[in-house]
Amino acid sequence: MPFLRRAATVTAAAALAGGAGWVTRAAWGLPTALGASQRRLRPTVAGSPQFSDGKFHNTLPTPALAPANARDGLLRQWHEDRHKGLPGGAIPVAEPLLPEQAGDLAVTWFGHSSALLEVDGARVLVDPVWGEKVSPSPVFGPSRLHPVPTPVESLPPVDAVLISHDHYDHLDLPTVRALVRSQSAPFVVPIGIGAHLRGWGVPEDRIVELDWDGATTVAGLTLTCTEARHFSGRFFARDTTLWSSWVVSGPRHRVFFGGDTGYTPAFAGIGARLGPFDLTLQPIGAYNDAWHAIHMDPEEAVRAHGDLGGRVLMPIHWATFNLAFHRWAEPAQRLLAAAAGRDVQVVVPRPGERVDVLAPPALEDWWTAVGSADDSPEQVAPEPKRGRLSLRR
């Protein structure tokens, strides 16, 4: 990931300048956070049909980054446009209103791709990231733009924890350790990620690893590991673990969780085999022409929702971390415009807000009120203020 290369450069410079204490803090816990080595991963992943020549592959040829001759342009864009993804004001954060018993079909969004699904009376936590930075270091990496809506320890008992892939904004070491202490649910993950979890102290009997099209049953729900178009890696080695989307099927309702993915025709096949879906959670942010194949833009998210046979669409992978060069509010604005053109029902909760998908609230455009730091061309982007909105009645 580009910011890791920058981090290594800055760390070396600081060391030469004598900042030993600062460097120690930046590197604290780094080897553990990086996860399992290729040597430890190989026995688990080598048998996967998606694994060959020492790494996992997408079904379609998928470059993770633009060709080398475009990288200078990316570096210039990072220098000139990195502030564009900051919000223009405080992001309203709701205090979650979680019932004692899980509902028939509901979702609580905690920011980025982290959400709590309620499906036919069971709870599934997806891509939980409560960390302040999405990075192996407590010093480097994108910082959270709004506070977590509630401590991870305050979550009700969940029946399963789903992980889409091993990037830091989807698999967070401190959050995993907190869930090991506060929950008893299994971690259901794409093949290879179990090696990371074992190294972090997750008991073997709480790890279920699946390849694409593999499934397991938990609390009356069928959890199916489905294809995505992305990549993996927690440092320089890439594609050493599998990435996926997920289908959560109950006796009466079905949910599709996109995690992080580029658009792929595989969505139509997933919809035909496992859909239609009452709710799809689709990534809409962190898009850029340089990595178009691995991150959907909002229009593609609407298209994927249609391929899957989705009824209600909820956007994820936006608002919480500054991971690209588009304006902060732009993903939601483009999503709503695209959805209107296809008559797609969309819910856009504030971080922390619970939505009853069977009786969704009227859409409120709260993101435009927040705005983007770069809305005024001459404005110097401020450090975003933090705010909390109580939805208690």
Residue pair 64/227 in contact by the 8 Å Cβ criterion: no
The answer to whether residue 98 sits within a structural domain is yes
- The token pair that represents 50 in the structure block: 């998606």
Q: What is the mean pLDDT of residues 86-111?
A: 97
pLDDT exceeds cutoff 80 at 52:
yes
The answer to whether residue 235 sits within a structural domain is yes
Q: Which residue has the tokens 């733009």?
A: 145
Give the Cβ contact number of residue 188 at 10 Å.
Answer: 27
d(CA 271, CA 273): 6
The answer to whether residue 300 sits within a structural domain is yes
Q: How sure is the predictor about 69, in pLDDT bands with cuts at 50, 70 and 90?
A: low
Give the Cβ contact number of residue 167 at 10 Å.
Answer: 22
Q: How sure is the predictor about 76, in pLDDT bands with cuts at 50, 70 and 90?
A: low
User: At 25, is the secondary structure helix, strand, or coil?
Assistant: helix
Please name the residues in contact with 249: beta carbons below 8 A apart, sequence gap of 6 or more. Answer: 221, 222, 223, 224, 255, 274
The pLDDT, as a whole number, for residue 193 is 98
The pLDDT, as a whole number, for residue 386 is 40
The pLDDT, as a whole number, for residue 39 is 85
The answer to whether residue 24 sits within a structural domain is no
The answer to whether residue 71 sits within a structural domain is no
The answer to whether residue 131 sits within a structural domain is yes
The answer to whether residue 16 sits within a structural domain is no
pLDDT exceeds cutoff 80 at 389:
no
Q: What is the full DSSP assignment across 70-102?
A: GHHHHHHHHHHHGGGGSBSSPBP-BPP---SS-
- The token pair that represents 235 in the structure block: 């440092």
CATH of the domain at 149: 3.60.15.10
Q: What is the pLDDT of residues 185-209, one digit of tens each?
A: 999 999 999 999 999 999 999 999 9
The pLDDT, as a whole number, for residue 344 is 97
Q: What is the pLDDT of residues 326-368, one digit of tens each?
A: 999 999 999 999 999 999 999 999 999 999 999 999 999 999 9
Count of domains forming the chain: 1
CA 316 to chain centre: 7
pLDDT exceeds cutoff 60 at 322:
yes
The pLDDT, as a whole number, for residue 78 is 63
pLDDT exceeds cutoff 80 at 182:
yes
Please name the residues in contact with 127: beta carbons below 8 A apart, sequence gap of 6 or more. Answer: 112, 113, 114, 115, 162, 163, 164, 170, 171, 257, 259
The answer to whether residue 147 sits within a structural domain is yes
- Write out the residue range of the structural domain in which residue 152 sits: 84-370
pTM equals 0.88
